[in-house]
A and B are shown apart, each in its own frame.
Chain A
Amino acid sequence: DTAVSQTPKYLVTQMGNDKSIKCEQNLGHDTMYWYKQDSKKFLKIMFSYNNKELIINETVPNRFSPKSPDKAHLNLHINSLELGDSAVYFCASSQDASRGETQYFGPGTRLLVL
């Protein structure tokens, strides 16, 4: 059974489009995260939700908007895509962010903006 899943795995789109990436976890965790992997493969946190409440909101363009319909899902919507948005985006979840619990990562979504 997949613990943290992301769809789609690959996303190729034109500049200016609006797209969403979905994330679901079946671990019963309270906290979910979105990370962007930069060109050197380092992960940088973008957002975190705990029980549908936004708890981390790093400096990212407001074209990026997370949406958590329930605690098992955290979707990432990106408006007006730009070339620099091309990257791999990782979703993760953990039991409780307040205790620094282990994070479980999804397989990543590779976004290519043309």
Chain B
Amino acid sequence: QKEVEQDPGPLSVPEGAIVSLNCTYSNSAFQYFMWYRQYSRKGPELLMYTYSSGNKEDGRFTAQVDKSSKYISLFIRDSQPSDSATYLCAMTVDDKIIFGKGTRLHILP
């Protein structure tokens, strides 16, 4: 079993919809949980991070961590065409950082 699993998509949703992006993981020792957004021809940029179970909100974005189920989610409210990108989850343990493969998201105008 891979340490971090993420559905590659692509995921297409209409503008204004709520988007849910998910990752599952197997290592209960993971410490930080992060979401990166990557636009075409750009490197990933850090969107949000958290280190505990629960929700963390930042504008239209909510990151959710459920350590008991080993499951993290990123919700995007009122999705915009400019949200179209690849979203990668990432987790750290000690000095290792493990990335999911990324989910390609298309917001349809």
Residues of A that sit less than 8 Å from B by CB: 33, 35, 37, 40-45, 48, 50, 55-56, 58, 88, 90, 97-103, 105, 108, 110
Contact = CB atoms under 8 A, between A and B. Distances in A.
Given A100-B85, A100-B104, A102-B8, A37 B97 contact: yes
Nearest to B96: A108
Contact of A41 (B32, B38, B86): B32
Nearest to B94: A41
Contacts of B102: 100, 102-103
A20 to B, nearest CB: 21
B43 A110 contact: no
A32 B88 CA distance: 17
B40 interface: yes
Contacts of B96: 108
A50 to B, nearest CB: 8
B44 A103 contact: yes
Contacts of A100: 38-40, 85-86, 102, 104
Chain B contact residues, majority secondary structure: strand
A55 B32 contact: no
B49 interface: yes
B41 A102 contact: no
A90 B92 CA distance: 14
Contacts of B99: 103, 105
A98 B40 contact: yes
Nearest to B85: A100
Name which of B32, B40, B43, B104 has the most chain A CB atoms within 10 A of its CB: B43
Nearest to A50: B41
A103 B32 CA distance: 20
A99 B40 CA distance: 5
Contacts of B60: none
B83 to A, nearest CB: 13
B90 A55 contact: no
